[in-house]
Structure 1
Amino acid sequence: MELHCKYQVALVCVMMLLPAALCYSQGFTPSRAAYYATSDGYGTPSGACGYGYYGRSVNNGKVAAVAGLWRNGAGCGACYQVRCKNSRLCSEYGTMVVATDYGAGDRTDFIMSPHAFKDLGQNPSASAELKKYGVVDIEYRRVPCTYAGYNVRIKIHESSNYPNYLAIIILYVPGTNDVTAVEIYDNERHEWKPMRRAYGAVFDIVDAPRGPLTMRLQFSGRKDWVQSSKSAIPGDWKVGASYDSEVHV
């Protein structure tokens, strides 16, 4: 009888602890993370998403290269909460990173910039110890991106050649929205023309329509198009310039 009571007590303890453990990891996926080296802790401007300087500095340089989450470039710009699992060293929240590059490691889902990896630790000494491991066990979940003061912006990629070849990068996409398709309106033919995903977050079109260009975007999880409320790209667009699309998602 005494033994039976002990089992009952143990069972109650397990039942009390289990919900807390489930709550801790609710919505998270277990994985591993590493980091890459840069001279100043920020990201790299040469990432596979094609973001350039934006890919280095967005989110205060807390960015990451991803592999399984790449989704043929549709994963560019997605935001993730990442936290490591060593209770002695790791902070409770971890960090939030933006996917700006492609990178595959030793069973890792994230290869993080130094600024991002540093945030995994509870304090500077803990961060330094985590860095010595090189690769750490983590869990992650997708979270909404927030860019206060920004609408979706369109940047003219450096490979563009006015006026015929137009390549663009879509920046500051909020929420948990993947850009899945882009079209621009041909004012002469009165029709929408699709842009091709060249690579990463770069969309392009050969023989681009003339004049100010209205755009519409399609996002994951919805069938309708979201159209710019004005001509998002001026008729005399410039390579390297960025324009407010006035697209609200």
Structure 2
Amino acid sequence: MASGACALEQRAWGRFEQGYGLETAALSTALFNDGAACGACFQLICVHSKWCRPAAGAIRITATNFCPPSSTSPTPWCNPPQKHFDLSQYMFLKFAIYQGGVVPVKFRRVRCHKQGGMKFQMNGNPYWILVLVYNVGGAGEVSNVKVKGSNTGWIQMQRNWGQNWLTGPGLVGQRLSFQVTASDGRTVESDNIVPPTWAFGQTFEGHNF
């Protein structure tokens, strides 16, 4: 498995370890926003092309990776200022014909509908803790995360990359709570969801938007 620009583990055939399935896309620089757009959901409709499937309707995807710009590709679709979605083949075929390759779309941001609670995957070591926040409903984009131990107040975490949020040492062996704020300003608090016996590599479920 490889870890993409949103810190999600990608399996063969484009599926993600964290449960996003194939309803995903990598975003071009103009949309990716240095990783802040990770987790955002979009609705896309194929338009003005002979390769659009008739009456296919719209597809919905979650942003799970970055489509990097290229200085060598003859068709640099992901170069600024182009707004481009690099879809999984499964999703592309839902609204367009394979031979089209690249098709024009209309798109808009939509709310994310996720099953179950928000997930917190604990990574790092005794010197720093890296929490992967995913399966985020509502706006989908996480703009701020705070963590509280059973022996601390609320501690501000810093975005490390993608959906990974970083804090320093001192929380190992404590019961943990999280406050997550989305890009629309809404905040969800998940109290005492991580037991004091937690270990690196474990994932815990909190409330969702």
TM range (shorter): 0.7 to 0.9
The alignment status of 1:98 with 2:59, answered yes or no, reads no
Deviations, residues 18-58 of structure 1 (Å, cap 9, x unaligned): xxxxxxxxxxxxxxxxxxxxxxxxxx842100011488334
1:71 counterpart SS class: helix
Structure ID, larger Rg: 1
Aligned-CA RMSD value: 2.2
Aligned to 1:48: 5
* 3-state secondary structure, aligned to 2:139: coil
**Deviation per CA, 1:128-186, whole angstroms, max 9, x where unpaired?**
222xxx322111111221123x11111123xx11x332111111111224211111114
Residue 94 of structure 1, CA deviation = 3.5
8 Å CA contact retained: 1:166, 1:208: no
Structure that is richer in helix per residue: 1
Fraction of identical pairs, as percent: 25
Normalized per residue, the structure richer in strand is 2
Deviation at 1:108, TM superposition (A): 4.1
Which residues of 2 match residues 169-208 of structure 1 at below 5 A?
Answer: 169-188=132-151, 190-208=152-170
Is the partner of 2:37 in helix, strand or coil?
Answer: coil
Alignment of 1:98-177 (within 5 A): 98-104=62-68, 105-106=76-77, 107-121=82-96, 127-130=97-100, 134-148=101-115, 150-157=116-123, 160-161=124-125, 163-177=126-140
Q: 1:85 maps to what in 2?
A: 47
Instruction: Please state whether the residue corresponding to 1:136 is helix, strand or coil.
Output: coil
- How far apart, in 2, do the equivalents of 1:88 and 1:97 lie? 22
Structure-2 change in CA distance of 1:174 and 1:138 (3 Å): same
Provide the TM-score with structure 2 as the length reference.
0.80
Per the alignment, residue 171 of structure 2 pairs with 209
Equivalent residues in 2 for 1:5-16 (5 A)? none
Return the structure number with greater relative CO, CA threshold 8 A, min gap 6: 2
Residues paired across the two proteins, number: 190
User: What runs of 5+ residues in structure 1 fail to find an aligned partner?
Assistant: 1-43, 122-126
Give yes or no for contact 2:49–2:103 (8 Å, CA) kept in 1.
no
1:238 to partner: Cα distance: 2.3
